[in-house]
Amino acid sequence: MNISKLVDDLVRYLTEAAGRTFTTTEEVPSIGIQPFEGEVYSRWENL
């Protein structure tokens, strides 16, 4: 087995593992950005 094949197999193994780690199989609902509907911190309003 030559070194270039060994390096190629190692890189393929690592990229496939990273692909499986960072991909999702479940569908996630797209909810978008939600507007702020809370109260402003009042300490900074009276300065």
Q: What is the pLDDT of residue 35?
A: 73
Confidence at 10, pLDDT banded by 50, 70, 90? very high
Give the C-alpha separation, 16 to 14, whole Å: 5
* Model pTM above 0.85: no
Angle (CA) 28 19 24, round 5°: 15
Q: Phi-psi bin for 20: left (phi > 0), alpha (psi -120 to 50), beta?
A: alpha
- What does pLDDT average to over the chain? 81
Report how far apart the first and last C-alpha atoms of the chain are (Å, whole number).
73
Confidence at 1, pLDDT banded by 50, 70, 90? low
Give the C-alpha separation, 3 to 10, whole Å: 10
